[in-house]
C-alpha cells in the first residue's frame, strides 16, 4: 500500500505565526515546508530534538553541507522562471477575461426572449430539405 499524506492542523498565536512566516521567508521556502522539515527531523530522531541557538552551533567544515542547503543556479534559469511566471499571470488574466465574456453572453441569452433553437426548427418540418 502507498504512503498517504495526512493533514495536520493546529492553532498558534499571531506572534508565533509571524515568526514562523519570517523563518520561511529567510529560508525561501513555504510555511508548510518549515513544518514538514521539523516533523521529518522529529520522526528521524524519535522525537528527541534539541533546539540550539545559531551562535552555539559548532563551526561548519567545508565537507559538511550548510543548513538550509543552498544551490546556485544560472541567471538565465532565474530569468526564464520569472518570464514563465509573468506569462502564467497573463494567461490567468486572459482566462478571467474570457470567463467574464462568456458570463456576459449567457446573461444576454437569458434576457433575450426571442430565442429559436435549431433543433426545434428541424421538428417542425414534415419533409427533409433538399438542395438542388
Quick check: is 106 in a domain? yes
Quick check: is 120 in a domain? no
Give per-residue pLDDT as tens, 87-114. 999 999 999 999 999 999 988 888 877 7
Give per-residue pLDDT as tens, 6-47. 887 878 899 988 998 898 888 888 888 888 888 888 888 888
Quick check: is 6 in a domain? no
> What is the domain range of residue 93?
75-113
- Split into its structural domains, the chain has a count of 2
Quick check: is 128 in a domain? no
Quick check: is 80 in a domain? yes
Q: What angle do CA 68, 70, 74 make, to 5 degrees?
A: 160
CA–CA dist 5, 12 (Å, integer) = 22
Quick check: is 91 in a domain? yes
Quick check: is 64 in a domain? no
What is the reported pTM? 0.36
Quick check: is 88 in a domain? yes
Q: For cell 559548532, what's the residue?
A: 58
Residue 68 per-residue DSSP state = S
Amino acid at each position: 500500500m502507498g504512503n498517504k499524506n495526512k493533514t495536520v492542523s493546529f492553532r498558534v498565536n499571531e506572534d508565533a505565526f509571524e515568526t514562523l512566516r519570517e523563518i520561511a521567508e529567510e529560508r525561501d521556502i513555504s510555511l508548510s515546508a518549515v513544518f514538514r522539515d521539523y516533523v521529518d527531523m522529529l520522526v528521524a530522531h524519535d522525537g528527541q530534538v534539541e533546539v540550539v541557538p545559531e551562535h552555539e552551533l559548532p563551526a561548519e567544515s567545508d565537507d559538511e553541507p550548510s543548513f538550509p542547503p543552498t544551490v546556485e543556479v544560472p541567471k538565465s534559469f532565474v530569468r526564464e522562471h520569472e518570464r514563465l511566471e509573468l506569462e502564467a499571470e497573463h494567461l490567468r488574466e486572459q482566462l478571467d477575461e474570457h470567463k467574464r465574456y462568456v458570463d456576459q453572453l449567457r446573461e444576454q441569452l437569458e434576457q433575450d426572449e426571442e430565442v429559436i433553437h435549431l433543433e426545434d426548427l428541424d421538428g417542425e418540418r414534415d419533409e427533409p430539405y433538399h438542395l438542388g
